[in-house]
Structure formats: C-alpha cells, structure tokens
Amino acid sequence: MFETIIELTYMVGALLIVLGLRKLGSPDTARRGNIEAGIGMGLAILAALIGPMQGASNNYGWILGGMIVGGAIGWVAAKKVKMTAMPQMVSIFNGFGGATAVVLGMVELEHFYSGTAMDGGQLIVTLLALIIGGVSFTGSMLAYLKLDGKVKDKNVTFNGHSILNIILLLVMIAASVYLYMQGRPGGITLAVIVMVISLIYGFSFVAPIGGADMPVVISLLNSFTGLSAAAAGLIYGNLVMIVGGIFVGAAGTILTVLMCNAMNRSLLNVIIGGFGTSAAAGAKSGTDGQIVKEIGLNDLAIQLYYSDSVIFVPGYGLAVAQAQKALKELDDLLTANGVDVKYAIHPVAGRMPGHMNVLLAEADVPYPKLLDLEEANAAFPATDIVVIVGANDVVNPAAKDDPSSPIYGMPILDVLEAKNVVVIKRSMSPGYAGIQNPLFFHPKNKMLFGDAKAVITKVASEVKDL
C-alpha cells in the first residue's frame, strides 16, 4: 500500500510537470504553468524523501541541508537577476543540471567498479548521463561567460577549431565504447578519462560559436541537460526524472531545430560547433562616405500619432534599457488614437529563445499583438512606420545582399518594406554579430540616438500633447 501511494505521488507530480510545461506555451498561462510544474516537482521531491530505495542511507540531514542552501541561492538569484542577465542565469542553472548528471554517473560507475551489479543497458545509460551532463556543464558555463562579456571569442578559438571538435567527439565516443567493452576490468580510471574528455569537449564545442548564434546553443544545451536528466531517471527508475527529462530534451531539440531554420543554419553544424563566428574577415562594415539621417522626438511623435499602422521591433537594447513598460505606454496612447500597433518578434532576438516575448509579457502587451517572422514580413508593406528599438542583426539587410557577411542567408525582418523606418539606438556601434548594419545608412531610415527608455518616454510625452 505504501509503495502504491509513493508511485501515485510520482504520477501526480509528473502529470503536473507535463501540464505546467504545456501552459508555458502562452504568456497568458505561463505563470500558472510555472506554479503547477513547481508543485509537481515538490511532490516528486517529497516522494523521493519518504520512499527511498531499498538499502539506501537515509541521510536526511545532508539532503535537507542541500535543499535549503540550493533553494536559497536559487530564490535570491531569481529575485535579483535583471532581465538583461536572464540568459546568463539560464546558462548557469542549466550547467548545474548537467553537473548533477556527471556526479550521479560517476557515483554509479564507482559503485559498479566496486562490485555492484550493473547490466549492459544500465552501463550504457550511466555513460550517457555522464557524457551528456559533462558537455552540458562546461558548455553552459562557457556560454554564460561569453554572454556576460567575461570571455571573448578570439581568446578561446583558433583556425580549424571545428576539426578539433570532431576529433574530440570521435575520441570521446571511442573511449566510451572501449569502457563499455572492457566492463569492470576497465577500472574507474578509464571512466574518469571519459568524463574529462566530455568536459573538454563541452567547452570546445561552444568556443567557436559566435554571439549572434548564442540563442541556438543555449537551446541545444538545455536539451542536452534534459536528456542527461532522463538518463539519470533511468538509472534510478524515477518516473518524474524520466518524464521531465524527456520533455525538456524534446522541447529543447524542437526549439533548436526551429531556431536553426530561422537562422538558416544546419543542426549538424551546431553539433560540431562549426558555425557562427562573431565576425567574418570579408564582411562589409565600413561607413566611409555614408550619410546617416536623424529624426527629432517631436517629428517621430507626430509621425506615429497620424499613422494608421505602426510596428515596433524590439531587441536586446530594449532589455538593456528596461524600456518595455515605456513602450507599452506609448502603445496605449497610439491605440487610443486609432493606430493599429503590432510588435515584430524575430525568433533569435535578444540573448535567448523567447527573450522579447518575456519582456513584453512583463509589460502586459497582449499576446495577439506579437507577430512572428513570417507574419511581420507579410505586414510590413502595409505599415506606415516601423520603429526598431535596440534590435540590430535581426534587421540587417546584409543577411540578404552581402555574401561576405557572417549572417548572410539568415532570414531577417524586412523592415525596409515598410513606408518609413526609425531606429532608436544609443550609438552606431555594431550588433552582437560584430558587423555594421547598412540599414542605418539607407535613405528610407532615420536614426534617433539615446537610451531607449528615455527616448520612448519623451516620445510618449510628445504624443500626449498632440
């Protein structure tokens, strides 16, 4: 009877996690989905505590101590983190999940080499948890360091880096196969070697991936961590770990494929780490002889006020300035005047998948106002004015007409199809891909320099006075 209750608790916890993940698909239900998934995970933890495996030591003091310390760190970090640093936090937490899988894998292998029985299937699953977790851990840590500006691409890469990644991957696979074939006589030393290679490969795998492609690698590493969690769940026969890991792994993989399509990248190149360097030697980035036209606050306010349709294009600059609520206020003023206001969201805008959606949801922007890439490009020709707030690479026309550009071939928001374009930006500095944007010099475009929040607030004030 007791075991039945434990299994039912696991089942209810897994169901709540699945329902919670399902509700994360819409900003309207995301908060409730988070709560439900959290309750499900709480039930799973409770079941794991009161129904430990046979023969396991009930070290509740250590377990509760770890939960309290980890929970406190997570709570404080989540409360204090700024929206601009959310991708970094996601990378760190994701890396910790991978590190957990590494520890579990090594513990089980140590038990195996000490004489604990383990069949061939269990050994394969344990090795997968170890390897995938190792890649996810060091890869996520490097992604965090690159996103936070602590590590520059040029300091961790060299010519032919993708070849090194292929060699490391083959060596890691060969060592794992050899360990499996050797079985217990192979010894713990070989397992440590496999672990070290996986950690090195995780770092090397992320090293050549440039900043413009970082949302893809974050999504891929999330899927890796999900798979390592599922593998750990198979080791211990834990239903919640298996279900949660499979869902996270599948969701991360699907999102990675969708983002690769959005950036015109191949998933194979993502896996071997051979794409997305932050700049290309032949890319056109000069500004000699090119003219930038500027627009004043009052002129922009008048143009917005008397337009029939306006589309805002948010980017990382919006997050840096925390300008989403100011933009929503401007949206409300224009909507009250009969202007049709929409938002164009590029799949890889910001520093992680869904970054702009989260920002706008935080400002209570209605979800139906958000247009994806295809919808936005279809709407631009009938749009009176497009206002780009802090976006850069996702509206760079070099992706369409400059074969030497590192972002050539990436689908972009075709803002130049609109009747008028205005870019709100602090300066003429290049975007995360490290290249200049010819849009800034296009005759149809006008620049409005300044902090996005301050500029939008002033424009909204001008609109109120009209």
For the segment 150-176, the average pLDDT, to the nearest whole number, is 86
Task: Report d(CA 376, CA 300) in Å as an integer.
Answer: 21
Task: Report d(CA 238, CA 231) in Å as an integer.
Answer: 10
Per-residue pLDDT of 83-119, as tens digits, reads: 677 788 888 999 999 999 999 999 999 988 888 888 8
What pLDDT is recorded for position 285?
A: 41
* Phi–psi pair at 168, nearest 5 degrees: -60, -40
Mean pLDDT of the residues in the chain = 85
Instruction: Return the closest-CA partner of residue 357 out of 23, 90, 30, 82.
Output: 30
Query: Which of 272-281, 330-339, 354-363 has the largest mean confidence?
Result: 330-339
> Judging by beta carbons within 10 Å of its beta carbon (0-12, 13-18, 19+), is residue 12 exposed, middle or buried?
middle
Per-residue pLDDT of 219-260, as tens digits, reads: 889 899 999 989 988 888 877 888 888 988 988 888 888 777
| Chain Cα centroid distance, residue 455 | 28
Q: To which residue do tokens 């497009």 refer?
A: 386
What letter represents residue 32's amino acid?
A: R
pLDDT at 333 over 50: yes
Q: To which residue do tokens 């932050």 refer?
A: 278
In the set 213, 331, 393, 402, the catalytic residue is 393
**CA–CA distance from 310 to each of 284, 299, 415, 421 (Å)?**
30, 15, 11, 10
What pLDDT is recorded for position 288?
A: 54
**Given its phi and psi angles, is residue 130 left (phi above 0), alpha (psi -120 to 50 degrees) or beta?**
alpha
Task: Report d(CA 343, CA 413) in Å as an integer.
Answer: 11
pLDDT band at 148; cut points 50, 70, 90: confident
Task: Report d(CA 197, CA 190) in Å as an integer.
Answer: 11
pLDDT at 282 over 50: no
Task: Report d(CA 379, CA 309) in Å as an integer.
Answer: 10
Instruction: Check residues 419 and 237 and name the one with the higher pLDDT.
Output: 419
This prediction's pTM: 0.76
Contact 101, 229 (CB under 8 A): yes
What pLDDT is recorded for position 88?
A: 85
User: What's the CA dihedral at 324, 329, 335, 340 to 10 degrees?
Assistant: -20
For the segment 394-406, the average pLDDT, to the nearest whole number, is 85
Of the listed ranges 58-62, 109-113, 411-415, the least confidently predicted one is 58-62
Q: What percent of the chain has pLDDT over 70?
A: 90
What pLDDT is recorded for position 187?
A: 77
Contacts 24+ apart (CB under 8 A), 279-284: 279/210, 279/406, 279/433, 279/434, 279/435, 280/404, 280/405, 280/406, 280/435, 282/404, 283/398, 283/402, 283/404, 283/405, 283/406, 283/435, 284/398, 284/402, 284/404, 284/405, 284/435, 284/436, 284/438
What pLDDT is recorded for position 277?
A: 45
What letter represents residue 101's amino acid?
A: A
Torsion sign (Cα): 125, 126, 127, 131? positive
Q: What percent of the chain has pLDDT over 90?
A: 41
Per-residue pLDDT of 292-323, as tens digits, reads: 899 999 999 999 999 999 999 999 889 888 89
Is residue 390 helix, strand or coil?
strand
Which contiguous run of DSSP H or E holds residue 422? strand 421-425
Contact 145, 205 (CB under 8 A): no
CATH number of 297-465: 3.40.50.1220, 3.30.1490.20, 3.40.50.10880, 2.60.40.1120? 3.40.50.1220
pLDDT at 284 over 90: no
Active site residue 393: yes
Instruction: Return the closest-CA partner of residue 313 out of 397, 256, 358, 373.
Output: 373
List of residues 6+ apart from 444 with CB closer than 8 A:
416, 420, 421
Task: Report d(CA 311, CA 27) in Å as an integer.
Answer: 20
Q: DSSP letter string over 305-318? A: HT-SEEEEEE-HHH
**Given its phi and psi angles, is residue 386 left (phi above 0), alpha (psi -120 to 50 degrees) or beta?**
beta
pLDDT at 276 over 70: no
Per-residue pLDDT of 339-388, as tens digits, reads: 999 999 998 887 777 788 888 888 889 889 999 999 999 999 999 999 99
Task: Report d(CA 367, CA 299) in Å as an integer.
Answer: 29
What pLDDT is recorded for position 340?
A: 96
Task: Report d(CA 427, CA 240) in Å as an integer.
Answer: 49
What pLDDT is recorded for position 269?
A: 61
What pLDDT is recorded for position 273?
A: 47
Contact 409, 268 (CB under 8 A): no
* Phi–psi pair at 365, nearest 5 degrees: -75, 125
- Return the domain boundaries, the chain: 1-80, 83-278, 297-465
